[in-house]
């Protein structure tokens, strides 16, 4: 989550240079929004059970975490919003799906709908990263969850010094420094 904000800022800055877009806060916000976009599915649980949006998107790590879904909608985004926004949106989401494949993410169904298997690399166990490559189907969801679930994971990873918190906060700090340099706040 923290690293997503940093990644969104860096992608937006790259997009500004690449597409010669003048700096605006809304462009930076768009980069952050794109990098966080798949996690909007966490909000579906606040909708009534029979709600059409909830039924189509599903729960967290549902449709918005399926790579092939985006290959279908990206052409429409590019057509409707243009190449610069389309590229930023695509890169933000691609980054998010790759990030969710590692460590804290609960894996991504990269081959959906042709396969229901999720891929997770170096997932944590009891608050420590493993070297394991997990590739499992829905029938094993419960076993994977009970084996690798970390209760209080926010505290375990974000409020202690560990490789995850160092890389997450480090990426955000680097992004903010690059942003400050770009705005000539420093140097
Ligand atoms: Zn996610």
Cα 62 to ligand 1 centre (Å): 10
pLDDT, tens digit (0-9, with 9 covering 90-100), for 100-150? 999 887 899 999 999 999 999 998 887 788 999 999 999 999 999 888 888
CA 89, 94, 97, 103 torsion: positive or negative? Answer: negative
Cα 9 to ligand 1 centre (Å): 17
**Closest C-alpha among 1, 26, 31, 2 to residue 14:** 31
Cα 47 to ligand 1 centre (Å): 19
Cα 14 to ligand 1 centre (Å): 22
Residues, beta carbon < 5 Å, ion ligand 1: 38-39, 100
Could you tell me the pTM of the whole model? 0.90
In the structure, what pLDDT confidence band is assigned to residue 187 with cuts at 50, 70 and 90?
low
Question: Are 53 and 44 spatial neighbours (Cβ–Cβ below 8 Å)?
Answer: yes
* Residue 146 neighbours by CB under 8 Å, 6+ apart: none
pLDDT, tens digit (0-9, with 9 covering 90-100), for 58-75? 877 889 999 999 999 999
Cα 186 to ligand 1 centre (Å): 33
Q: Where are the alpha helices (DSSP H) in the chain?
A: 2-19, 25-36, 52-57, 67-81, 83-100, 141-148, 153-158, 163-182
């Amino acid at each position: 989550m923290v690293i997503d904000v940093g990644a969104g800022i860096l992608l937006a800055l790259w997009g500004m240079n690449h597409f010669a877009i003048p700096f605006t806060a809304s462009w930076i916000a768009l980069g952050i929004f794109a990098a966080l976009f798949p996690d909007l599915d966490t909000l579906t649980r606040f909708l009534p059970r029979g709600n059409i949006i909830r039924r189509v998107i599903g729960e967290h790590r549902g449709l918005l975490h399926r790579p092939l879904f985006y290959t279908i909608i990206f052409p429409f985004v590019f057509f409707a919003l243009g190449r610069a926004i389309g590229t930023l949106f695509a890169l933000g989401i691609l980054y998010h799906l790759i990030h969710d494949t590692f460590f804290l993410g609960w894996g991504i169904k990269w081959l959906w709908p042709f396969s229901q298997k999720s891929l997770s690399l170096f997932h944590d166990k009891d608050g420590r990263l493993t070297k394991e490559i997990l590739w499992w189907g829905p029938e094993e969801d419960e076993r994977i969850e009970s084996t690798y679930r970390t209760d209080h994971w926010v505290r375990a990873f974000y409020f202690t010094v560990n490789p995850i918190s160092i890389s997450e906060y480090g990426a955000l700090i680097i992004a903010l420094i690059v942003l400050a340099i770009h705005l000539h706040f420093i140097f």
